[in-house]
Structure 1
Amino acid sequence: METNMDLMRIIQGKFARLSKGQKLIAEYILKHYDKAAFMTAAKLGISVGVSESTVVRFANQLGYEGYPELQKALQELIKNKLTTAQRIELASDYVEPNNALRGVLKSDIENIRATMEKISYSDFEGTVNSILKAKKIYIVGLRSSAALADFLGFYLNLILDNVKVVSYGISDIFEQVLNISEGDCVIGIGFPRYAVRTVETLNFAKSRGADVIAITDSLLSPLAAKADYALIAESNMASFVDSLVAPLSVINALIVAVGLKEKEKISKTFNELEHIWEDYQIYSYKKGTDVNKF
């Protein structure tokens, strides 16, 4: 499947050659692909009145190894198009209301597992090297991705001294990135539905000759399209909430990798910070205090 939009055309093109049961599945998906994307093979079979094995054979008939691959293609097709209200409506098909904790944790575990399998280790190393050699590092992540951008910026600022987190504020986004130039590194973080300003910032950075890094969910993402290095982290949604667990894990790894390259510098920085934290009582206990008392 070259693109996920091809899926609907493939179903239509193969419809005449499908069995009676498979045609029922095809008709349901063509009409209700947004709901089918979050159904198990068994639940989809029940919805159309066929067996689970018929659903699996239908996926094979379309060229997929199994139903999970077909389901993934359906999710990719819709995840950037669903409104928040539509996500809430579909939540009951994806997460059991009385067992949301287990459902969401299982989903996040799967996101991390899939990320480990799909992420490019060469792009990861390229990202680390780009950060270390950059004259200035800009980090842009808006809306729900703002938390990730702030987290990455907070720790990189402790390791390096040339980091700027770009965010909504008094000044416009482009006023904050006006001086981007060759030799700089711009890290864009974005997941469906992608913030337009993040994409535009990466386009601007690319036009200025800066290294562009994308932390996003797919190589088909508009952020990845302009990136020199793309770190792909699964973010399959659990209801109306974007899953940012796998992206945060990738960011953690990025911080650690940069820190290990600057081990001597960060050791000195954190030794100085420990004294400052103790002198100004930044935390609720002093260095050497038995924390079990609190």
Structure 2
Amino acid sequence: MTFLPFEEILRRKYDELSPGQKKAADHLMNNLEASSYGTLAAISREAGVSETTIIRLSGTLGFRGYSDMQSRIRDQILLSGRRRGNPDEEGASDGSPFERSIEREMDILRQMKNELDPGLLMQVAKRIAEADQIAVIGTRTAGAAADWLAMTLGCWRERVLSVPPDGDKYRALLDLTGRSAAIAISFPRYARATQRFAEGAKKAGATLVAVTDSPLSPIGRIADFTLLTRKNRDETGLDSIASVISLLNLMVIGVSLQGKEEGTRRLQRLEAICSDRGDRLE
């Protein structure tokens, strides 16, 4: 049986929820597995809301009651093998800080693999391949991921722009149409510049693809397509974007499958240009 993912149900209804219901929804999303078997009393206590609020939340989401909502969550976990534990704890080790960082990264990648929706990825890839142009934006560490994606997609197709979040980002909105696609990469702490550009792209009619950590993130709530992963906060206290790049690479693979011959010719022309200019050391 195919279910609409619980996260997607929440995303579609999130703006209709009361502040208390949003607090409960956030708790359910961040503790999905525990919520599949916890009692109503325990979950209301942990979420810091009343039992009535959670019951009303289930009704707003279209369920017959709390038990019906919990059953949907449980079925989804059983069908997908999903485990939303804390990757920082799953890979705990007494090894060196380098080993611990690698283990956390591997846990995040394993979780991403378990949650992977190939059908969704192919939908995103098809829309990107068919777009008249693509704008990619991200800020801070997400900006590095955005630059990588724009460069890589630009090898496969024309008219791919990396939008400077601190520069003249609004000028990039001028050329967006209903046939365009905008890819916004946004993780905590969510950048206002990325959000504003994404809102402008939606207003222009472009398809918005969000790469983020939750369908309930600011960018996830307004996106047409949402691809999820987590960043790894390592020993430095800063975020590694290895898992983000891995997810973006899956998107590029999907795009390459949409127009392999044209993409290959484009790569060959690029290689010839670089060779003619003597840009290669070997």
TM-score of the aligned structures, taking structure 2 as reference length: 0.67
CA distance in 2, matches of 1:250, 1:112: 9
Identify if the C-alpha distance between structure 1 residues 6 and 162 changes in structure 2 by more than 3 Å, giving closer, same or farther.
closer
C-alpha separation between the residues in 2 aligned to 1:245 and 1:74? 15
Instruction: Verify: 1:72 aligned to 2:95, yes or no.
Output: no
The answer on whether the counterparts of 2:87 and 2:107 sit within 8 Å (CA) in structure 1 is no
SS where residue 246 of structure 2 aligns? Answer: helix
Counterpart of 1:4 in structure 2 is: 27
Partner of 2:196: 200
Tell me whether 1:122 sits opposite 2:119 in the alignment.
yes
Residues 165-189 of structure 1: CA deviation (Å, up to 9, x unaligned):
10145x4322232332211101001
1:188 aligned residue (166, 169, 184)? 184
Shift of 1:236: 4.0
Return closer, same or farther for 1:254/1:73 CA change in 2, 3 Å cut-off: closer
How many residues were matched structurally? 218
Q: CA deviation at 1:213?
A: 0.3
Note if 1:110 corresponds to 2:107. yes
**Deviation by residue 1:260-289 (Cα, 9 ceiling, x = unmatched):** 22211122222223322222221210xxxx
Aligned to 1:133: 130
Q: Which of the residues 264, 269, 273 maps onto 2:266?
A: 269
Equivalent in the alignment of 1:284: 281
Give the partner amino acid of 2:231. S
User: Deviation at 1:70?
Assistant: 8.5
* Helix, strand or coil at the partner of 2:132: coil
Measured after TM superposition, the shift of residue 71 of structure 1 is: 5.8
CA distance in 2, matches of 1:110, 1:72: 9
Alpha-carbon displacement from aligned partner over 1:27-54 (angstroms, at most 9, x marks no partner): xxx9xxxxxxxxxxxxxxxxxxxxxxxx
Aligned to 1:173, which of 169, 176, 186?
A: 169
Point out where structure 2 has 5 or more consecutive residues left out of the alignment: 1-23, 32-37, 49-72, 78-82
Deviations 1:83-117 (A, max 9, x none): xxxxxxxxxxx787x81100000000001001111
Structure 1 residue matching 2:174: 3-state secondary structure: coil
The answer to whether the Cα contact below 8 Å between 1:166 and 1:177 also exists between their aligned partners in 2 is no
1:33-44 pair list within 5 angstroms:
none
How far is 1:140 from its partner? 0.7
Counterpart residue type for residue 150 of structure 2 = G
- Using the TM superposition, name which of 236-245 and 225-234 deviates more: 236-245
Distance in 2, matches of 1:123 and 1:7, equals 22
Distance in 1 of aligned mates of 2:30 and 2:114: 23
The Cα RMSD (Å) is: 3.4
Deviation at residue 160 of structure 1 after TM alignment? 1.0
Look up the SS of the partner of 1:109 in the other structure. helix
- With 258-267 and 101-110 compared, the bigger mean Cα shift is at 258-267
Does residue 247 (structure 1) correspond to residue 220 (structure 2)? The answer is no
**Distance in 2 separating the partners of 1:133 and 1:266:** 13
Amino-acid identity (%): 24
- Contact 1:138-1:186 within 8 A present in 2 as well: yes
Q: Secondary structure at the match of 2:183?
A: strand
Q: How far off is 1:222 after superposition?
A: 1.1
Q: Aligned letter for 1:176?
A: A
- The structure that has the greater radius of gyration is 1
Whole-Å separation in 1 of the counterparts to 2:142 and 2:106 = 20
TM value normalised by structure 1: 0.64
